[in-house]
Amino acid sequence: MKYFLYNPLANNGIKPELFGLELIDATKIDFGAFFDALEDGDEVVIIGGDGTINHLVNHVDCEHLKNNIYLYGNGSGNDFLNDIGEKPATEILLNKYLTHLPTVRVNGLERKFINNMGFGIDGYCCEEADRIKAKAPNKKINYTGIAIKGLLFHFKPCHAVVEVDGVKHEFDHVWLAPAMKGRFYGGGMMIAPGQDRFSDKLSVVVYHCPSKLKTLMHFPKIFEGKHVELKDMTTVLTGSRIHVTYSRPCAAQIDGDTVLNVTEYEAEL
């Protein structure tokens, strides 16, 4: 039997055209119980995006999956698909991507992530997007526009202590410091171009600069991964255990899911 789990919250609520298929509303089932009840030979297609995969890995024991799980991409950001070089609206076998995932501990939460743990202006963007969605649920979110306004007016950079495998590094004027399992986040930004999702290490990318104008001027380079060439304002560190502390509370995000009032996080692979 092949089951199709559809996330109605994905892709700004735009439902894919899958004629003739019986879709199960993924928001109305217990993921753990559903997967435990599968029989040998059953297959499942997850219809959604990055947030849907994140929900899967945090509610199902993906280290011991006995069934084939597929993704039919229907997200708004599709950073996971960008990272593995696939396009939306195609069916992809997920199993090999769902094991050996990193864990993040933040504000009393412990979560796995498939793409990234973001901290800084990326978290601010998710916080602002949540506010927009609360007022206008069907409005398409322009994350790039939110980021530019944040850089110019609203987000204030911080001092950060970044500890990687026990070695501490300090930075002033930090705009973001995400821990990356894949290369992409934010709906197409190649923030960690050298990261391999099958590596035994994570990348933490520290984007730091005292000048708002210079930060904004070079910000578009992130979409192509060329910001890492700016050694005076981008530092990439790799390790299996990353601990980041900010000098003041900021919003963070885990695969696009906002966490408010964060001063530190620890990511471990």
Domains of the chain: 2-97 (no CATH), 103-268 (2.60.200.40)
Between CA 161 and CA 174 the distance in angstroms is 10
* 5: confidence class by pLDDT, cuts 50, 70, 90: very high
Nearest to 114, CA basis, from 50, 163, 62, 67:
50
Q: Is 36 exposed, middle or buried (0-12, 13-18, 19+ CB in 10 A)?
A: exposed
Between CA 66 and CA 184 the distance in angstroms is 29
| Strand 202-208 versus strand 68-73 pairing type | unpaired
43, pLDDT greater than 80: yes
Reading phi first (left if > 0) and then psi (alpha if -120 to 50, else beta), residue 41 is in: left
3 state SS of 84: helix
13, pLDDT greater than 60: no
Q: So what's the pLDDT on residue 15?
A: 61
Nearest to 16, CA basis, from 99, 76, 103:
76
Between CA 117 and CA 97 the distance in angstroms is 17
% of the chain residues with pLDDT over 90 = 71
Nearest to 3, CA basis, from 88, 90, 50, 67:
67
Q: So what's the pLDDT on residue 175?
A: 95
pLDDT, one tens digit per residue, over 100-145 is 999 999 999 999 999 999 988 989 888 888 888 888 877 777 777 8
Nearest to 162, CA basis, from 195, 208, 109, 198:
208
Per-residue burial over 71-101, b if 16 or more Cβ lie within 10 Å, else e, is bbbbbbbbbbbbbeeeebeeebebeebbeeb
Dihedral over Cα of 93, 95, 98, 100: its sign: negative
Between CA 170 and CA 163 the distance in angstroms is 9
Q: So what's the pLDDT on residue 19?
A: 59
Q: So what's the pLDDT on residue 77?
A: 78
